[in-house]
Amino acid sequence: MLDELIQWGAAAAVHRGEDLSGDQYLVKPFASKMLIAVVDGVGHGVEAATASQTAISALEANAGQPIDTLFKACHQRLAGSRGVVMTVALIDSALHSLTWAGVGNVEGRLLRADKESSHPEETLLLRSGVVGHNLPSTLNVSTLQVFKGDVLILATDGIRADFATRLHIGRSAHQIANDILARHNKGTDDALVVVARYRGGGPSAAS
């Protein structure tokens, strides 16, 4: 089912001198949906990795819940930790939709396969805060229609924010992720990019 809904890939780099990364991700299918999350533990090293792993466990355990509930579950589990910033995206193949939200600075982009689209690139509007410390009272949860071939990219702040510039999305998700890491890794922090191409039986961009 995973291969039918999306093609995905990830690329990561650990901060120099560290063995564990504070940047973690989750790609979890259930029913006709796919939950994709990227989590960045505050700072780097063991404590950041522990915080991000705690958040990933909470997301996996509550995957079927609405996105705002997922953030609240992580916030509760992360009390007393360094906390994390994170972005969560839900692809629903039955509705051909992408619902996403972010707290902190894990960037989200949706690149349209149809280059003639009036909005060829969608950017996630992030809310400030740290999950586990100061979760915003309301999240900016938004929903977009997705078409076959559209590409979702989530990247931590170890990746420069201009990563979508002159990006060729016709290659595989793994190739796109590796290219972004190679060209846009700051080299001063943990870095992670997750790429997912929608292929789950929705309408084509030309229909």
Boundaries of every domain in the chain: 2-198
pLDDT at residue 110, as a whole number: 97
Collapse the DSSP code of 158 into the 3-class scheme (helix H, G, I; strand E, B; otherwise coil) and give the result.
coil
Q: Residue 143 and residue 122: Cα distance in Å, rounded?
A: 11
Q: How confident is the model at residue 1 (pLDDT cuts 50, 70, 90)?
A: low
Residue 80 pLDDT exceeds 60: yes
Burial class (CB in 10 A: 0-12, 13-18, 19+), 141: middle
CA pair distance 182, 189, nearest whole angstrom: 14
Q: Is the Cβ–Cβ distance between 44 and 190 less than 8 Å?
A: yes
What's the chain's average pLDDT?
92
104: Cβ contacts below 8 Å, ≥ 6 apart? 40, 84, 85, 86, 87, 126, 128, 129, 130, 131
Q: Report the pLDDT value the prediction gives residue 168, as an integer from 0 to 100.
A: 86
Q: Please check the confidence at residue 174 and state whether its pLDDT lies above 70.
A: yes
Q: Which CATH superfamily is domain 2-198 in?
A: PPM-type phosphatase domain (3.60.40.10)
- Angle, alpha carbons 121-65-198 (nearest 5°): 30
How far is Cα 160 from Cα 203, in angstroms, rounded to an integer? 32
Is residue 126 within 8 A of residue 104, CB to CB? The reply is yes
Q: Structure pTM?
A: 0.93
